[in-house]
Every structure is written in structure tokens, then in C-alpha cells.
């Protein structure tokens, strides 16, 4: 999808409304002026100005962009979806996660015409984004129920790929890296082999291997507890 500035796209949206006779030139100019000051979606500004109705706006977006119109009044958003989009981002852009369809996050929006926002959302979330259209009142009601976001969730939104990799890779890396390092030294380091087999220890090779795996088992258990306390506490519930 090609990048396009919000102003240029809003201009195209305004031109489309103007060509269809849905707004007057004076109303459009005033709406664009307000948009430059408030950074709000053009469609919402036009509704607030009473230049068009909410119904006209929804039908226009559905007709020209092909997105479904949904109602949020009786729709329950699953808790997991809130972890994809922070409350501050949702409030700023007037959108809420609607449902997850495989590798696609369906997002209910007031104004699905902002291509830059959709591209940025896709990059932040790490999933495909499919917009659907909801009324301003539905979005407002859904945002009021939006849970707060703690620091971990905020980090997950700001850098989703890195954070998710860290969450799921922390335990395997912490647990298995020492074992892999010891096995590597046992195979490739003559000095380490001589150290393990030194007569001072008085142990056979099999006993040494058993002690290494016993020590690693204790270490893995500690790593599991650390992972549960600091990284993935929900997995221990």
C-alpha cells in the first residue's frame, strides 16, 4: 500500500463528498481548517458541524471503500485483543479492536480512509489490518470500557515483534544456553575436558555427565520460576 499523507488523503475524501453533493464547498473548507487544528477525522468533523449526518457518513464509507458497517453495542471485545492496541492509540485515532481472524486483526473505526494510519497500525500490531466501520457513538462507548494499559502492554504495542519474541524466547534461551555452552566445551575444548576428568574430582565420565544434567535441571527450574515472576506471570495462573 503506497504511503499517502493524511492531509492529501483527506483532501481526496473531501473532493469525493463534494462531487457527490453531500457537502458544500464552504462546509468542506471549514472542516479542513478544523482538521488542521484538531487532527480529527474529516468525517467526524463534518458530522459535528451538521454538514452531514452520521448515517450519511457510514453509508458513504461503505459505498466507496467497501468496508462492513458493524454495531459495537452488543459486541463483547475479547480481553486478548486489547493487548494489540494501547488505550492511548485507540483513543487518539477513535478505533477499537473488533475481532481476530487468523493473522488479521479486524479494527472498528470511525474513519477507515486514512491509509497512513492503517499502514502504521499494521506495522505496530504485526498483523494484517481489516477495517470495519462503526458509528462515533459506538466507538465512544467502546472506548469508555477500554481497560488501562500497564507498562508491559505499552511496550508490547510500541515494539510488538521484539516484545513477543522476548516473552516467548526468554525461558528457552535462559534455560538451554548454559547446557549448550557446556556441551560445546566438552566437545571442542581439550582444556575443559581435562578439567572435568582431572583425578582431583575422582569421578567417571558417566558420573560427570549425570552431575552436569542434574545441575542443569536445577538451573532450568530456577529459570522457569524467574520467567513466571517477571516475564510471563499469566502462564503460572
> What percentage of the chain exceeds 90 in pLDDT?
14
Reported confidence tier of residue 129, pLDDT bands at 50, 70, 90: very high
Q: 114 near 127, Cβ under 8 Å? A: no
pLDDT value, residue 164: 57
Structural domain of 216: 160-236
Last residue of a domain, one of 123, 157, 191: 157
- The average confidence (pLDDT) of the chain is 80
In a domain, 35, yes or no: yes
Judge if 151 and 174 occupy the same domain. Answer: no
Last residue of a domain, one of 16, 43, 65: 65
Decide if pLDDT at 107 tops 90.
yes
Decide if pLDDT at 175 tops 90.
no
> What percentage of the chain exceeds 70 in pLDDT?
82
Judge if 144 and 191 occupy the same domain. Answer: no
Decide if pLDDT at 106 tops 90.
yes
Reported confidence tier of residue 188, pLDDT bands at 50, 70, 90: confident
Q: How many domains does the chain have?
A: 3
Judge if 191 and 149 occupy the same domain. Answer: no
Judge if 165 and 153 occupy the same domain. Answer: no
Judge if 149 and 178 occupy the same domain. Answer: no
CATH number, residue 147: 3.30.300.160
- How far apart, in Å, are the Cα atoms of 192 and each of 10, 56, 166, 209, 213? 68, 77, 32, 13, 16
Judge if 166 and 231 occupy the same domain. Answer: yes
Cα distance between the two ends of the chain? 42
Residue 184: exposure state from Cβ atoms within 10 A (0-12, 13-18, ≥19):
exposed
Question: What value does the mean pLDDT take over residues 157-173?
Answer: 62
pLDDT value, residue 236: 46
Last residue of a domain, one of 20, 40, 65: 65
In a domain, 1, yes or no: no
In a domain, 214, yes or no: yes
Residue-wise pLDDT tens digits, 49-71: 999 998 888 888 888 888 899 98
pLDDT value, residue 93: 86
Reported confidence tier of residue 113, pLDDT bands at 50, 70, 90: confident
Amino acid at each position: 500500500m503506497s504511503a499517502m499523507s493524511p492531509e492529501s488523503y483527506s483532501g481526496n475524501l473531501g473532493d469525493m463528498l463534494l462531487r457527490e453533493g453531500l457537502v458544500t464547498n464552504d462546509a468542506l473548507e471549514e472542516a479542513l481548517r478544523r482538521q488542521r487544528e484538531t487532527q480529527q477525522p474529516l468525517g467526524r468533523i463534518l458530522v459535528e458541524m451538521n454538514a452531514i449526518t452520521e448515517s450519511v457518513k457510514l453509508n458513504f464509507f461503505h459505498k466507496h471503500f467497501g468496508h462492513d458497517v458493524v454495531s459495537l453495542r452488543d459486541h463483547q471485545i475479547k480481553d486478548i485483543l486489547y493487548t494489540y492496541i494501547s488505550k492511548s492509540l485507540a483513543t487518539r485515532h477513535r478505533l477499537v479492536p473488533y475481532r481476530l481472524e487468523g493473522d488479521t486483526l479486524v479494527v472498528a473505526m470511525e474513519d477507515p480512509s486514512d491509509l497512513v494510519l492503517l499502514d502504521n497500525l499494521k506495522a505496530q500490531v504485526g498483523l494484517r489490518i481489516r477495517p470495519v466501520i462503526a458509528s462515533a457513538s459506538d466507538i465512544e462507548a467502546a472506548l469508555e470500557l477500554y481497560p488501562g494499559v500497564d507498562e508491559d502492554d505499552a511496550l508490547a504495542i510500541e515494539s510488538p515483534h521484539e516484545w513477543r519474541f522476548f516473552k516467548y524466547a526468554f525461558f528457552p534461551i535462559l534455560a538451554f544456553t548454559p547446557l549448550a555452552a557446556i556441551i560445546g566445551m566438552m566437545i571442542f575444548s581439550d582444556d575443559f575436558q581435562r578439567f572435568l576428568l582431572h583425578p582431583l574430582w575422582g569421578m567417571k565420565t558417566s558420573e560427570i555427565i549425570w552431575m552436569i544434567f542434574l545441575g542443569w535441571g536445577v538451573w532450568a527450574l530456577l529459570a522457569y520460576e524467574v520467567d513466571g515472576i517477571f516475564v510471563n506471570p499469566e502462564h503460572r495462573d
